[in-house]
A and B are shown apart, each in its own frame.
Chain A
């Protein structure tokens, strides 16, 4: 069974640009969540989607948005990029949101803003 797939793996963007990252969950998984990892802040929750609906959102500005499609694939978008958005963006999938489900992560997208 294929794991969580994130594309692209690496991305370099210029300040002010926008970027879209993609996440394909494990087949059959319907819950997708996104995290940002930086050396200073560690791993921080961005948002979570289930059945095309955003269930939770972390404490990030409105420049960060996401969506989930009917096939459970998810995208996140960051507009008006800032240098501080440089980070590893990780996507996690699980069968469904719940207290007893394991969450599996992709390899991440390394975004560098210059």
Chain B
């Protein structure tokens, strides 16, 4: 069963706006990773945040992690049409590369 749940399931915004998606998980983690997937293709790694980190930036991406609430958020600033994709969070299972994926947020950026 999946550990994570993303919210919202779908999001539609205008180009230039910011997009925020949230991920909640159930058990303790070592790290949490965010991925992007375009149209059923492979997953593109976006960012990894460790359990002892609270915030991390990478370009237009900002990820926060609140382990007390077992939640994370991904903020994409100044969105572009090319950001249209599904976004997934993945949490580790304390056993290497076994990850639990959320249900994903489908983001549509309208030009």
Give chain A's interface residues, CB within 8 Å of chain B: 4, 6, 31-33, 35, 37, 42-45, 48, 50, 55-56, 58, 88, 90, 92, 94, 97-108, 110
Given known contacts A42-B101, A99-B30, A100-B50, A105 and B96 CB-to-CB distance under 8 angstroms = no
Distance in angstroms between the alpha carbons of A79 and B41 in the assembled complex? 24
Complex Cα spacing A54 to B102, Å: 24
B43 near A99 (CB under 8 angstroms)?
no
Instruction: Tell me whether A55 and B96 are in contact (CB under 8 A).
Output: yes
Name the residue among B30, B42, B101 with the largest chain A CB count within 10 angstroms: B42
Asked, given contacts A45-B99, A108-B41, whether A102 binds B48 with beta carbons under 8 Å apart, the answer is yes
Instruction: Determine whether the beta carbon of A97 is less than 8 Å from that of B45.
Output: no
Q: B97, A58: Cβ atoms under 8 Å? A: no
> Interface on chain A toward B: helix, strand, loop, or mixed SS?
strand
CA distance A56 to B95 in the complex (A): 8
Total number of B residues with any Cβ neighbor in A under 8 Å: 28
State which residues 28-60 of B face A: CB under 8 Å. 30-31, 33, 35, 40-45, 48, 50
A33 lies within 8 A of B35 (CB): no
Q: A110 to chain B: which residues have CB within 8 Å?
A: 40
A42 with B97: CB separation less than 8 A = no
Cβ contact within 8 Å between B101 and A103: no
Q: Complex: how many Å from CA A109 to CA B96? A: 23
Query: Would you call B100 and A45 a contact (CB within 8 A)?
Result: yes
Contact status A99-B48, CB under 8 Å: no
Contact of A105 among B44, B100, B102, B104 (CB under 8 A): B44
Could you give 9 example pairs across A and B, Cβ below 8 Å? A32-B97, A42-B2, A42-B102, A43-B2, A56-B98, A92-B97, A98-B96, A103-B97, A105-B43
